[in-house]
Amino acid sequence: MTFIRSLLALLLTAGLFGTASAHLMVAQKGTLNISGNGAYLLVSIPTSGLEKIDDDTDGLLSTRELSLHTESIKQQIQARLQLSDTDGLRPLEGLMLTLSPEDAKEGQPADQLVVMGRFALADSNKPLSFQTSLWGKKETEQSLGLTITKNLKQEELLMLTPEHPTGKLYEPALNVFVSFLQHGIEHVLSGLDHLLFLLVVIATGWGWKQILSALSIFTVGHTISLMTVVYSGITFPENIVEPAIAATIIGLALYDLWKSRSSSVQTSRGLRYGLVFGCSLIHGLGLGGALTSLGINPAQQGATLLGFNLGIEIAQVGVAVLAILGLALLQKMFGDRSVQTASTLATLSAVVMGGIWFIERVMFS
């Protein structure tokens, strides 16, 4: 009865039920309620992440297939949804499985499976970590968000992805800061559009002061919109933000090509700073979306935001320093004209790549 009461409490407080026109509960979401000597799991997982259960190869799990492969499914879940403490893995017991079809009609084949179970704990006060390797084939099935509660309070959010499949529960603020510092660095270094925009900012032929001023303006701008997204809770559609980011690359690169033929240096410099600031606001919306997709613990929002933003700045400065040193080396070896040629080629490449990304993101997002 304790198990059932805990599950009912989770259902009522977590807001995980879907609407009448959607899944039984929100896909790729769940709760983990730590109470006494147990951690009660309720989660919706993608059926395409399970192996050798789709007999008719329709990409869905039917009632018949669930019945035939129940034991195999349970074994896969126990092996791929894991909770551990300092003593090792904790056993997952009392598994119950329910199909969650997209139209929420009972008996229909489903692309999601609702899993309920209990992890047995020796001591709920020991440090805990949760990990999963249950990812589906769709892009929307490449994340898992868990709301963690302890004795129906102390709520936090844990977001897992294939790149970060393990999360520690109730981490100290310093650990959260370091973790999101790493996320910020990785986001910049893995984001080709962000790197390309940085190179456009740098590829101007200006001196250190002008480049650092432009980078500082870019930092201030994207920090403003990043904080706005985080603290307001307002999300902007990815199919609008991503093409807009590509458009900023095209716009700034085209402006630089025009500026290279203009003699009004002072006017163009001030205008360029304004363009960089405007573009940075759009990039900040993308960064805010990336951060919220990782999951933000409301109790450690400050450490999360500070770590992520600082990681972004560290990566940006590192890329900028390498690019500037490369231009300086090019100038020393081949003279000023080589730097101008390299800058022009980089700007033209940015226009081409930005245009390709813009078309792709408009047509396929």
Same domain for 346 and 332: yes
Task: Give residue-wise pLDDT tens across range 7-35.
Answer: 444 443 444 544 434 566 788 899 999 98
Cα dihedral 151, 156, 162, 166 sign: negative
Same domain for 189 and 118: no
Low-confidence ranges of the chain (pLDDT < 50): 1-15, 17-21, 265
Same domain for 99 and 11: yes
- The total of structural domains in the chain comes to 2
pLDDT of the residue at 204:
65
Q: Which DSSP letter does residue 47 get?
A: G
Of 116, 143, 170, at which residue does a domain stop?
A: 170
Of 141, 170, 199, at which residue does a domain stop?
A: 170
Q: Which DSSP letter does residue 48 get?
A: G
Whats the size of the chain, residue-wise? 365
Q: Is 119 left (phi over 0), alpha (psi -120 to 50) or beta?
A: beta
Using an 8 Å Cβ cutoff, are 42 and 115 in contact?
yes
Task: Give residue-wise pLDDT tens across range 215-272.
Answer: 888 889 998 998 888 888 787 888 899 999 999 999 988 888 887 776 554 556 778 8
Contacts for 321 with CB less than 8 Å, ≥ 6 apart: none
Distance, CA of 282 to CA of 245 (rounded, Å):
6
Angle value at C-alpha 74, between 68 and 75, nearest 5 degrees: 110
pLDDT of the residue at 98:
93
pLDDT of the residue at 24:
67
pLDDT of the residue at 21:
40
Q: Can you give the residue range of the structural domain that contains 74?
A: 2-170
Same domain for 225 and 165: no
pLDDT of the residue at 89:
94
Using an 8 Å Cβ cutoff, are 116 and 86 in contact?
no
Contacts for 197 with CB less than 8 Å, ≥ 6 apart: 245, 248, 249, 252, 279, 283, 350
Cβ-count burial 275-299 (b if 16+ within 10 Å, e if not): bbbebbbbbbbbbbbbbbebbbbee
Same domain for 75 and 209: no
Same domain for 55 and 19: yes
Q: End-to-end distance of the chain based on CA atoms, in angstroms? A: 47
pLDDT of the residue at 12:
39
Using an 8 Å Cβ cutoff, are 16 and 99 in contact?
no
Same domain for 328 and 184: yes
Of 170, 190, 222, at which residue does a domain stop?
A: 170
What is the token pair recorded at 121?
Answer: 């704990």
Same domain for 353 and 213: yes
Same domain for 136 and 197: no
Same domain for 207 and 162: no
Same domain for 92 and 49: yes
Place of tokens 């109730």: 170
Helices and strands counted in the chain (H then E): 10, 10
pLDDT of the residue at 1:
46
Same domain for 336 and 191: yes
pTM over 0.75: no
